[in-house]
Chains A and B, each alone.
Chain A
Amino acid sequence: MSLLKTLTVACLIFISGVPVYAHHVLGRPSYSLGEDSNTPPSMQVETQIGDFYVTYMAFPAFPKPNEQGRVNLYASRIDNGLPFEGRVTFKVRDDRWFAGEEEILGIQNIDDSVYRQGFIFQEEGDYIITAEFSSGGEPYLIDFPLRIGEPAAVGPIGITIAILFVVLITVNILQRKRRFSLKAKRAREDNNT
């Protein structure tokens, strides 16, 4: 689709939108206690894929190693709101570069409009849960983040310190070189005169 056509269609759609309740930024986790403050906190991610709205909830919101947890997945059609009724495969992999093999957590059938998958992780870390299903001959793969235990955040600080260190050292070396060549130049000029 040409850029002009895309912009025109987008313009028409943006103008003709009907009011609905907006939520959070799609695809970003949000945390809530639910309607009843006695319920354990949950982490929720909403996303849209193909013909479906997908909502994923993790209980508890901050699972620890060796602690039983559960993910709930709701998938409903965007056009008529009807729930998806096939089977959903839940897989898991490490959320890092050069992650290892994906493991299957389980294959679930719908139960009261919800797909429920339990889990227990033994190690702390950031994981990606993938929910996989197919509808209308099309495969659907949805990734959701899941953190187990406390985060290790030395990465960004380490990278920042390394960059700053390299920059400051480089500038220092260059300035020393500059000074040295300036001194040498002056000395040559003095010798000539």
Chain B
Amino acid sequence: MIMNHPGLPDSWMWLAVMLMLITVAWTFVKTPKKNSKQVFIAVERIPLLGQLAKLFSASPWPLLIFKFVSVALFLTVIAAGLWGTPIAERNLATTLTWTVWWAGLIITVFFLGSAWCAVCPWDTLASWLVKRRLWRRADAAASLGLKVPKIWRNVWPALAMFVGLTWLELGVGVTTNPYATAVLSLVMIVMSTIYMAVFEGKAFCKYVCPVGRTVGFYAQLSMVELRPREQQTCSDCKTMECYHGTEEIEPCPTHLVMGSLKQSTYCTSCSACTMSCPHNNVGWRIRSPAVEAIQHARPHWDEAWFMLGLLGLTTFHGITMLEVWEQALSRFGQLIGDSGQLIMSFSVGMLLVFIAPVLLYSLLIKLTQLLLPNKIDFKQLFSKLAFISLPMAFVYHIAHNLNHLIRESRGFTDVLMNPLGSGSLPLSSQELHMRHMSPLMYEELLYGLQAGLMFFGFWLAMQILQRRTMESISEQSGWRGYYLLPGTLFIAGVTAFNLWLLAQPMVMRM
């Protein structure tokens, strides 16, 4: 039996479109400022949250408790996947991994940044196995500690892993296969352990992990960041415990220096810096979610591709859940004589959807190059403006995942009580209807959130476009609104398509 989630109603869609048009008009008329004032609120100053933040910064134990919980759940997922029922909606492996964790994780990034990485079970298990310490600094001899070869010191491996994960998820159907989900989990443990045993720091998290990098890039749009409390204290610091560690505390696993940290992409929120700083100068603060992607993050060629990859693949997720997708896949499969599972057809379709935004984006860069008064290298502009894809990918990812989380996670407590699904039967038509008709959130609120998110992503992308374009022109050249035209068309085109995707009925996953 097939159930479809209803799409975003027209009224909400048009409201979002109207707000976007106003944003475009305002962006074109307004002359951008070179330096905007930034406002931060230290989390320590907020009642309750402050105490909580202090607790996590002062002692390793609260984080360790969370790590134990995450590892315990992870091991249960593996056991459920290997020995539990193959019925996806009754097994903890598939429901927890794909419906709750993978769908909910992206939403948490907005509020908690890369906090997930701090309790990630892949990394925790790898650390425990290789370093044989619960949290204290390990003997340097525990790992070979080799430097990652220069050719691998980029996010290309993470992009390849992310593409691979999407292919497994949507093409091979790992999301509905508890056994395959468990095997995938084991593969991730093996990979992270090998990396930790061979290379220094957390090379797997920094360069390979598709989840870590996705979380890392999206963390640029988070409302929290880990930064020095007083910049001057860091400037005067000669010992740099945040970077080198102390006798007890590990050094920063991704080699970040707190004093010069401008970008959260590679921060794993591990708390090593907060615990090792002798001046107690590192803390969480609340910020505008726009500030990092708009001006602080530095452009890099490989990172630009990762951000565009995120945009293409998140949109691809939506496309594959449309009714039209399977029909098109079937036709193409018949034409090329594909196997029964249509893997080749799926791969070609995925490639097309991945390539389309990159080609459009390249066109935008070429046109912007022509419009700008001074000559700027294609690769440089490509890397610089790629940040506009980040908010579009992020908001669509959240809006899409909200559908899964709100409409498909009902009944999760039953699965939690019987993680292996022993003796359980598949969902009956009545249960399917019940799930379908009673989402976890009031439906209009869900629509409002989705429309609001799409507008927010659009607005953020326009801000980034304006700021990054302005940075690309020389001081002498005056500002002209038409410099933004190609970028605006790209942002509007992608957002309109994603909005249309949200408005379509979406096939229920499980």
Binding site for B on A (CB under 8 A): 1, 6-7, 9-11, 13-14, 16-37, 41, 47-51, 54, 61, 78, 142, 147, 150-151, 153, 156-157, 159-160, 163-164, 167-168, 171, 174-175, 178-179
- Chain B contacts for A157, CB-based, 8 A: 78, 82, 186
Beta-carbon contact of A9 and B332 below 8 Å:
yes
Cα distance A168–B130 in the bound complex, in angstroms:
7
Residue in chain A with minimal CB distance to B425? A41
Residues of the B chain whose Cβ atoms lie less than 8 Å from the Cβ of A167:
193-194, 197
CB distance from B323 to the nearest CB of A (A): 5
Q: Which of B170, B322, B326, B335 is within 8 Å of A23, CB to CB?
A: B326
Say whether B186 contacts A33, CB under 8 Å: no
User: When chains A and B are docked, how far (Å) is the Cα of A48 from the Cα of B331?
Assistant: 10
Interface bits B60-101 vs A (CB < 8 Å: 1, else 0): 000000000000000000100011001110000000000000
Please measure, in the bound complex, the distance between the C-alpha atom of A48 and the C-alpha atom of B190, giving whole angstroms: 35
Q: Is the CB of A10 within 8 A of B332?
A: yes
In the complex, the chain A residue whose C-beta lies closest to that of B342 is A26
* Distance between Cα atoms of A21 and B2 in the complex (Å): 7
Q: How far is the CA of A35 from the CA of B334 in the complex (A)?
A: 31
Residues in chain B near residue A1, CB distance under 8 A: 336
A7 touches B352 (CB 8 A): yes
B165 within 8 A of A: no
A156 and B348 contacting across the interface, CB-CB below 8 Å: no
A171 and B144 within 8 A (CB): yes
- Contact, CB under 8 Å: B326 / A37: no
Closest-by-CB residue of A relative to B337 is: A50
Q: How far is the CB of A39 from chain B (nearest CB, A)?
A: 9
Given A31-B86, A174-B144, do A11 and B324 touch, yes or no (CB 8 Å)? no
Which 8 pairs of residues, A with B, have the shortest CB-CB distance?
A25-B173, A17-B328, A27-B341, A47-B340, A153-B82, A37-B428, A31-B426, A22-B326
Q: Of the candidates B142, B171, B190, B335, which one forms a contact with A9 in the assembled complex, judged by CB atoms under 8 Å apart?
A: B335
Are B330 and A19 in contact (CB-based, < 8 A)? no
The one of B176, B324, B428 that contacts A19, using a Cβ cutoff of 8 Å: B324
CB distance A6 to B348 under 8 Å?
yes
Residues of B contacting A30 with CB < 8 Å? Answer: 88, 176
- Cα of A98 to Cα of B349 in the assembled complex, Å: 34
- List B contacts of A36 (CB < 8 A): 429
Which of B170, B336, B428, B430 has most chain A Cβ within 10 Å?
B428
- Of A159, A164, A174, most B-chain CB atoms within 10 Å: A164
Q: Which of B177-185, B260-268, B379-387 contacts A (4 or more CB under 8 A)?
A: B177-185
CA distance A167 to B322 in the complex (A): 44
CB of B427 within 8 A of chain A? yes
Q: Which of A19, A37, A174 has a CB less than 8 Å from the CB of B323?
A: A19
- Interface bits B241-271 vs A (CB < 8 Å: 1, else 0): 0000000000000000000000000000000
Whether the Cβ atoms of A26 and B1 lie closer than 8 Å is no
* Residue in contact with A175 in the complex, picked from B86, B141, B186, B194, CB distance below 8 Å: B141
| Alpha-carbon gap, A93 to B337, bound state (A) | 25
Residue on A with the closest CB to B126? A164
Q: Is the CB of B323 within 8 A of A171?
A: no
Q: Are B331 and A25 in contact (CB under 8 A)?
A: no
Further 5 A-B residue pairs, CB within 8 A, beyond A24-B173, A151-B82: A17-B324, A22-B2, A32-B1, A160-B190, A179-B141
Interface residues of B in 332-366 (CB under 8 A from A): 332-342, 345, 348-349, 351-352
Would B177 and A28 count as touching, CB distance under 8 A? yes
The answer on a CB contact under 8 Å between B173 and A37 is: no
Instruction: Establish whether residues A23 and B333, one from each chain, have CB atoms under 8 Å apart when the complex forms.
Output: no
Q: What are the residues of chain B within 8 A of A27 when measuring CB–CB?
A: 173, 339-342
Indicate whether B485 reaches chain A with its CB closer than 8 angstroms: no
Q: Is the CB of A33 within 8 A of B428?
A: yes
Q: Count chain B residues whose beta carbon lies closer than 8 angstroms to a beta carbon of A.
A: 63
Structural contact, A49 and B186, CB atoms closer than 8 A? no
Known A37-B429, A164-B129; contact A11-B352, beta-carbon cutoff 8 A: yes
Chain B residues engaging chain A, CB cutoff 8 angstroms: 1-2, 78, 82-83, 86-88, 129-130, 141-144, 170-173, 176-177, 179, 182-183, 186, 189-190, 193-194, 197-198, 321-328, 330-342, 345, 348-349, 351-352, 425-430, 507
- For the complex, would chain B's binding face be called helix, strand, loop or mixed by DSSP majority? helix
B183: chain A residues at CB < 8 Å are: 156
Q: Which residues of A contact B429 (CB under 8 A)?
A: 33-37
Known A-B contacts A18-B327, A22-B2; the reply to A153 vs B425 at CB < 8 A is: no
In the complex where A17-B325, A47-B341, A51-B334 touch, is A168 in contact with B197 (Cβ < 8 A)?
yes
User: Contacts of B182 on A, CB cut-off 8 Å?
Assistant: 153, 156
Give the chain B neighbours of A11 by CB distance below 8 A: 352
A35 — nearest CB in chain B belongs to which residue?
B429
In the complex, A28→B349 CA distance in Å?
Answer: 19
For residue A156, which residues in chain B have a CB less than 8 angstroms away from its CB? 82, 182-183, 186
Chain B nearest Cβ from A158, distance in angstroms: 10
- B340 and A19 form a contact (CB under 8 A): no
Complex Cα gap A174–B146 (Å): 12
**Min distance, Cβ A162 to any Cβ of chain B, angstroms:** 10
A48 adjacent to B2 (CB under 8 Å): no
| CB-based contact A23/B2 at 8 Å | yes
Give, as a whole number of angstroms, the nearest-CB distance from A67 to chain B: 16
Q: A25, A41, A168 — which one has the most chain B CB atoms within 10 A of its CB?
A: A25
Give the CA-CA distance A121 to B340 in the complex, in Å: 26
Q: Chain A contacts of B351 at CB under 8 A? A: 7
Q: Is the CB of A175 within 8 A of B331?
A: no
Listed by A's residue number, 28 A-B pairs whose Cβ atoms lie within 8 Å are A9-B332, A10-B332, A10-B348, A10-B349, A10-B352, A11-B352, A13-B332, A14-B332, A16-B328, A17-B331, A19-B324, A20-B324, A20-B327, A22-B322, A22-B327, A25-B341, A27-B342, A28-B173, A31-B87, A32-B427, A48-B330, A48-B338, A153-B82, A153-B83, A160-B189, A164-B129, A167-B197, A175-B144
**A168 CA / B321 CA spacing, docked (Å):** 42
Give the chain B neighbours of A32 by CB distance below 8 A.
1, 426-427
Q: Across the interface, which residues of A come within 8 angstroms of B86, CB to CB?
A: 29, 31, 147
| Chain B hits for A37, CB < 8 A | 428-430
Do A22 and B340 touch across chains, with their CB atoms under 8 A apart?
Answer: no
Task: Count chain A CB atoms within 10 A of each CB in B87, B172, B333, B340 and give the residue with the most.
Answer: B340
